Structure 1
């Protein structure tokens, strides 16, 4: 009889648990939102940033639809995120082969002098992105599907103004992912405290402690770069905005409800951020997973010397233009006591030492988390920077263009590693920099200290971004937004207040002088009268 009671009780307990679980599932489903994500075109680091946030939004019960191009649809679907999200595909206005060639042209930047073909390719890609935007907005079937999906919000990459335009056309609130360093520089329109006295402009090599000359240059750099960057980045979309009866593209960008900047002040210079700008640096950094057997075996064979990662992403493609550079890398790596895992799409047509393993793809985050990884040699990619910090790995950086120069300055100034100039690089300099970083304990100690600081947070970056998006969907963002849009330039910079105070002070000083003059005049007259009376 007792056993029967226990059995019945157990059944009721299980039924209760199932009912509670079902109720929780229904509750989550009721609160689930459809979120549209526009991660540029679905290529490289920009996609991985938004995908990391998307993964966490899935755990909160939301549905994610990613708007990606037909040029990189296969790339996205074959990634580990392929089965997790829904996808809407737009077609480029030019053949897919030309899109791929544009990205291949970036690869040649490493072997060309100066900034290489950066500006030329940037103009070409910007024009292509603008045409892509026109194609998306003009695709009636695609836009009809997006409207019928009843999206609650949109998450877009700030490098593509089309995201804000799509959000306005769909009449939904939109959030931005900022993939660059210097958060106050990119969110100054939101009221971020960009003070040139201690916040370095994006393309300067200064730290947050500057001399008078540096502060002067930094101020002009900020003014010029922001004005030129705004014109360069958003002007091509002005015609589209007018066509759809929307505000100026820059004004649309300023309507962004929340900004998720891929920065963290453990690896960034401090500045004041408004409540709707959320630092989420290190979105792609996470605990390491098990490595492929061939890579694990190669690492284990390194013994106590360990391994070094060499990863220049898509910026080092083997061809005749950079064969000398590849040989320079090989010569430097062969002299190191460590083994080297090198990301290179194609193996060189000459013998490679057994201490170098060339792979067309590598799980960088997982290798960085291996205890035998001693350093990373890379181009200054922002994601790699925070992955190195997260895992406590020193770095040698050789920037190619854009924000990579800012990242390289931070690495050198924070003591995480050394930077090289691609214009002056030699095999000896590469070897010496890598040897110094792996043999001098100072760099490893700095990396460990920064890692401990970075990890000691209540939430990981992607979790933090997902939390605030979820919070904004449920409660809105009115209590986070500064009223900067409602202020004109005179009000924002208190020019009217300063003018009033100045006039008041001038008038007060004038009255004081006049009163003093009158008093002095009367005193003098009184003294003169007194003297005359004594004489009489």
Structure 2
């Protein structure tokens, strides 16, 4: 027996030694919810995790049972903290813009986008400057001998830090800078790949393709004018001449894309892009006793679950009154994640909760419809469990996400800025009574589950792959380091055009010379 214990101890020690030492640079808010899932799985497999955070962090706790933290405190006590009030303000602006003409909607949306980008990237620059100006802190990071840096590149803190520390880098990514991450690395023709916030499918007519191209160019303009210059001075101070953010962003060994083509439109990809959409989903666990009793009390009618995510703390009072009234007209029970003042017209069939086990509720057999804002976490959970979605988009990519699910016949979308009781009730009843929505979402669910390896296991495999092989440079395309004019062969096209012009000029000159010679000869004769 003693010998068996010794063997188990040796196995444990060997397993512990085989784990990697990983520096994690996350993004706060809902992005952290995704990162945390991966970190828990990595820790369970013996990896050591160190998370870099701001003291003003909204979601990332300083004390954790499965990672250690380094809290970067700046003299001005700013950092990368998210301000919930900003998202409420942006939601109000979104409602106002939806009532404008298309032209002014586009202009005002562009202004808000530029303003939001400025706020977040200015905070990121301050956070980065605090780190890179602290030589003692950087020495401490280097002496820790990390094997890998895992980051979300929506903001480039981790990108720049990985370059400075010369660490292999892996992304947990969907967004990077001004747009969707595919467009940063893989070919993304605007003829059939919808731009951010276009609300188009991958089958566009001529006018839609024209507008889509304009949106694509706007994203490039925003990146060049509002984002890249923010970091130019910092890169000049701390990196060799010629260092630029775009090249750094392209240097990640593996891009763990939070995407599943069951949900997204098919598009070109690259060898180091690995798709892990829905990795945060899991089998439903039993509900708390009181909540389970409420679900069972719904009888044959079932339950509607409503949650609008983590970014917006509370909806406008007028909207909550409309939603509460609509719910009161249903025979179903309703579980509503709700923050704010209790609606005055709330009916007995509706249960308000400040927090709810969303994944477990969506996996409950009594759940009939999910009323959601269209964040990817919630939509992937709905796909995983096969629950149709009534979309109420508020901000950012939520509009595009719901358009994609609607295009699959698994969702309906209601305009939050002009929602009224009758329209909301009609949409709910349609989804509850029309079996096509559930049939379509359950088909997507079957496709989503039909994989040789779960998305989370896939993510962990590639993280460990990079640790084992000290990088994955062999998967990176040479195209990612080329200037745009070489990537698109503009220099070759110009060269060929010049050759063509030169050949044409020589041909014309030769013809004129022959004609002159012929005329001269004719006169002599």
> So what's the TM-score if we normalise by structure 1?
0.84
- Contact 2:374–2:398, Cα closer than 8 Å, also in 1: yes
> Equivalent residues in 2 for 1:81-92 (5 A)?
82-91=64-73
RMSD: 3.5
Task: Single out whichever of 180-189 and 383-392 deviates more from structure 2.
Answer: 180-189
Other structure's SS at 1:297 match: helix
1:76 to 32, 54, 61: 61
Report the counterpart of residue 48 of structure 1 in structure 2.
33
- Contact 2:283–2:360, Cα closer than 8 Å, also in 1: yes
Matched, 1:160 2:155: yes
Post-superposition Cα deviations, 1:286-309, rounded to whole Å, max 9, x if no partner, equal 111122222211111111111111
1:179 to 159, 171, 174: 174
Other structure's SS at 1:415 match: coil
Report the counterpart of residue 218 of structure 2 in structure 1.
224
CA distance in 2, matches of 1:258, 1:267: 21
2:302 to 300, 306, 314: 306
Report the counterpart of residue 472 of structure 1 in structure 2.
466
> Equivalent residues in 2 for 1:20-419 (5 A)?
21-40=8-27, 43-72=28-57, 76=61, 82-91=64-73, 102-112=83-93, 113-114=95-96, 119=113, 120=115, 122-140=117-135, 142-180=137-175, 185-190=180-185, 192-245=186-239, 247-318=243-314, 322-348=316-342, 350=344, 352-419=346-413
Inter-CA distance 169–399: structure 2 relative to 1 (3 Å threshold) = same
CA distance in 2, matches of 1:516, 1:98: 70
CA distance in 1, matches of 2:481, 2:177: 25
Other structure's SS at 1:114 match: helix
CA distance in 1, matches of 2:39, 2:80: 29
- Contact 1:283–1:461, Cα closer than 8 Å, also in 2: yes
Task: Single out whichever of 91-100 and 381-390 deviates more from structure 2.
Answer: 91-100
- Contact 1:39–1:46, Cα closer than 8 Å, also in 2: yes
Post-superposition Cα deviations, 1:170-220, rounded to whole Å, max 9, x if no partner, equal 221222222349999423332x12011211111211111111222222122
- Contact 2:388–2:431, Cα closer than 8 Å, also in 1: yes
Inter-CA distance 401–318: structure 2 relative to 1 (3 Å threshold) = closer
CA distance in 1, matches of 2:308, 2:117: 19
Report the counterpart of residue 454 of structure 1 in structure 2.
448
Report the counterpart of residue 101 of structure 2 in structure 1.
none
Post-superposition Cα deviations, 1:393-450, rounded to whole Å, max 9, x if no partner, equal 1111121121112112112212111112222211222221121112111100010000
Q: In the comparison of the two structures, how many residue pairs are matched?
A: 504
- Contact 1:177–1:262, Cα closer than 8 Å, also in 2: yes
1:361 CA displacement: 0.6
CA distance in 2, matches of 1:270, 1:305: 37
CA distance in 2, matches of 1:109, 1:338: 32
CA distance in 2, matches of 1:181, 1:450: 27
Other structure's SS at 2:41 match: helix
Task: Single out whichever of 386-395 and 427-436 deviates more from structure 2.
Answer: 427-436
- Contact 2:29–2:58, Cα closer than 8 Å, also in 1: no
- Contact 1:306–1:339, Cα closer than 8 Å, also in 2: yes
CA distance in 2, matches of 1:315, 1:63: 30
CA distance in 1, matches of 2:284, 2:62: 23
CA distance in 1, matches of 2:230, 2:271: 30
Report the counterpart of residue 534 of structure 1 in structure 2.
none
- Contact 2:128–2:157, Cα closer than 8 Å, also in 1: yes
Matched, 1:491 2:473: no
CA distance in 1, matches of 2:338, 2:231: 36
Task: Single out whichever of 132-141 and 195-204 deviates more from structure 2.
Answer: 132-141
Other structure's SS at 1:479 match: helix
Post-superposition Cα deviations, 1:30-70, rounded to whole Å, max 9, x if no partner, equal 33211011112xx4321111112222322443211111222
- Contact 1:183–1:261, Cα closer than 8 Å, also in 2: no
CA distance in 1, matches of 2:255, 2:484: 23
Inter-CA distance 508–205: structure 2 relative to 1 (3 Å threshold) = same
In the alignment, structure 2 segments of 5+ residues that lack a partner are 98-108, 515-525
In the alignment, structure 1 segments of 5+ residues that lack a partner are 1-10, 520-536
